[in-house]
A and B are shown apart, each in its own frame.
Chain A
Amino acid sequence: MKGMWKIARWELMRNLTNKQFIIGLFITPLIMALFAGVPLLLDRLNHPALSTYYVIDELGALQHLQAIVPDNITLEPYANPSAAADKVKETDASGYFVLSQDFPVTGQIDVVYNDRSMETMNALRGALTALLQQLRLASSQISPEQVAFVTAPAQVKEIAIEEELEPQAMHMAVSGVFTILVFFLIFTSGTMLMQSALQEKRDRMAEVILSSVSPRELMQGKILGHFLLGLIQLGFWIALGLPIARYFWDFSVMEALQAVNLPVILFFGLGGYLLFSALFVGLGATMEDLQSASNSQGLVLMLPMLAFLFLGPTFTNPDGTVAVFASIFPFTSPAIMMLRTGLTRVPLWQTLSSAGLLLVTALVLMGLAAKIFRVGMLMYGKNASLKEVARWLSYKDN
């Protein structure tokens, strides 16, 4: 046990004093902000695309149409098509069209365009459709009130039979955020952990360390160290991001924490971390370096991604078979169970069986990883094949 803490402390200190790690600590939120911010910014730059169409109004409905089209589309009357065409070329307007007298009958209209913005074209199409409907209804002598009455949508109100069933925005948002955080922790710490095992091999340090601590202690120390490191990372980012988040969306932290089932989230977060870290650390011990990872090793590396497949189905139907399965299956349960607790009331038997299965799987994987680790750490210069790994698992401990 003592050895484990010493290894953990070394891993922690080694990274905390590592320039790359510290730079990453600051750069990562910056990159994330960039990724979130840039599309928003681009959208904003793109959005107020003003466009002008010249209309040859034979029908006398231009005023009507002007009232319907969105604000960013300007419609200007013009005398005849050929003059309009010249004008469009000259002024770089979006296009022109003829609102002909038989439009209410045929519904046909030719829009001659200069720039083909999907968005404005769709908006124009919508407006013209609305105009067509109005014109046709007016000609069949139905009053506007009647029209409104007929086309009004049904007003559906969702009332949960029990209050807890009611999806709360806060609930969903907080559990969603937690799911993402845990995922992030698993990925970053997991890969760092694997690299740390690889490094132990690359630097040929394993044997020296193993003359002071048992392989199990070394492995557990690494897992613990990188877990703490991950928590520090997360803590730092939360401390950085929380004031910003509160500036944009007014909410209280205590309220947010009360909105979720904290014990469940902590258990599944920790369980998921243990499971995947055992997987990663064992995987690292079988590899020579990341570049030479074989297909089977790559597959294991992708395993945490499996949960992504179930995010959609879980959102749309949190009590469906798929969601229930994914929240019990141990390789997807950490993320999916966390998500489900935010979306619905999970039956106790499901929570318990999922938790139990996760715990057992994590422990079994830990045991297997320890066996792989003790042999793999001393194997230099090549990737282990599946067959070799299977043989390692059959070695007895001494």
Chain B
Amino acid sequence: MDGLQVHGIRKVYGSTAVVDNVSFSAPQGRILGVLGPNGAGKTTIIRMIMGITAPDQGEVFFTSDGVKTKGVPFPTIGYLPEERGLYKEAKVMNILLFLAGLKNIPKIVAKERAATWLKKFGLEDYAHRKVEQLSKGMAQKVQFIAAVLHEPKFVVLDEPFSGLDPVSQDLFKAEIRALAKSGATVLLSSHQMNMVEALCDEIFLIHKGKEVVSGHLEEIKERFGNFRVNLLTRSFQEPFLKTNMVEKAEQLGEERYRFILKEGIKPLEFVQALPPGLDIRELAISRPSLHDIFVNIAQGGASDEGYVENSSLGAYA
């Protein structure tokens, strides 16, 4: 199968393993999210994939058109590093042409594509401006263009959304989806799990250099998270809290309740069991967010309630 395979890579700095026996594969045409908190080892993994640092153990393979290679396929890979930057005194178009040239894209082709991309990001007026005249967000867009201008088969994006406003984030998300749809293998990293979980087809959660959980987003959620119900009502009765469908019930505010359903209990069953005549102001049923799952697993279930609270209510209430 085409895509990117990582086999048991390990990197030790000093006496700590920053990345410890990490394996995953990013299938072609899909988006793999390497997610984890700051300092989890995401950038180190990406740098090892990009051949910038050598793993102490393990290997990285790139397969395209059925051919498996070990070294980084320079012409067919696109990379947006975490450390952002562009030559400050160079002009936007010149940098794009130079970087596309390094990927063996003829100048005429590169010029046309660059113009199209700049227009897409609303930067057409900046093509002949110097980079130092761009805002941070604009520079990030130019960097993104540089990473994908050569229509790479492999796209590696390290924290592509950090520092972007919500509108630009959506723009990036749409373009990343389009890249995967056109057949590229996309690997991106982020520490903001809730923000990218909807974007990724595959998830690789990492903490302290080790895999926490990985796989299909839905599978993970099924595996690790029972349904949650957030309810806003005035006419609630205490005895309901003790129903056998609920694993955990809490009153969060005067009128706000949250239930975590027992394993195997379907949302519909729970809703049907609600007392008749209940005055529902708001009702939200959801799987826990990736963040909650992460916190649960990484901290051995002893999650900080307030932390979980904010994230799930923030997302669904």
- Interface residues, chain A, with chain B CB atoms under 8 Å away: 2-3, 6-7, 10, 14, 18, 199, 202-205, 207-213, 378, 380, 395-398
Contact = CB atoms under 8 A, between A and B. Distances in A.
B87 A207 contact: no
Interface in B96-114: 98-99, 101-104
Nearest to A380: B83
Nearest to B150: A212
Chain B binding site: helix, strand, loop or mixed by DSSP?
A: loop
B74 interface: yes
Interface of B: 47, 50-55, 72, 74-75, 77-79, 81, 83-90, 98-99, 101-104, 143, 146-147, 156
Query: Which 4 A-B pairs give the minimum distances between C-beta atoms?
Result: A204-B85, A398-B54, A211-B79, A212-B102
A212 B99 contact: yes
A199 B87 contact: yes
Given A203-B86, A212-B103, A213-B74, 18 more contacts: A3-B102, A199-B87, A202-B85, A203-B85, A205-B85, A205-B87, A207-B47, A207-B83, A208-B81, A208-B146, A208-B147, A210-B51, A211-B74, A211-B78, A211-B156, A378-B47, A395-B54, A396-B54
A378 B81 CA distance: 11
Nearest to A212: B102
A397 B54 contact: yes
12 contacts: A2-B104, A208-B81, A208-B146, A211-B74, A211-B81, A212-B99, A212-B102, A378-B52, A378-B53, A380-B83, A396-B54, A398-B51
B127 to A, nearest CB: 16
Contact of A208 (B47, B75, B101, B143): B143
Contacts of A10: 98
A104 B87 CA distance: 81
Chain A binding site: helix, strand, loop or mixed by DSSP?
A: loop
Contact of B102 (A213, A378, A395, A396): A213
B55 to A, nearest CB: 8
Nearest to A396: B54
A7 B99 CA distance: 10
Contacts of B81: 204, 207-208, 211
Contacts of A3: 74, 102
A210 B50 contact: yes
B83 A14 contact: no
A191 B146 CA distance: 29
B83 A204 contact: yes
B86 A205 contact: yes
Contacts of A397: 54
Contact of A18 (B50, B72, B89): B89
Contacts of B72: 211
Contacts of B53: 378
A2 B54 CA distance: 23
Nearest to B89: A18
A293 B72 CA distance: 34
Contacts of A210: 50-52
B90 A14 contact: yes
Most interface-central of A205, A212, A395 (chain B CB within 10 A): A212
B102 A207 contact: no
B53 to A, nearest CB: 8
Contacts of A380: 83
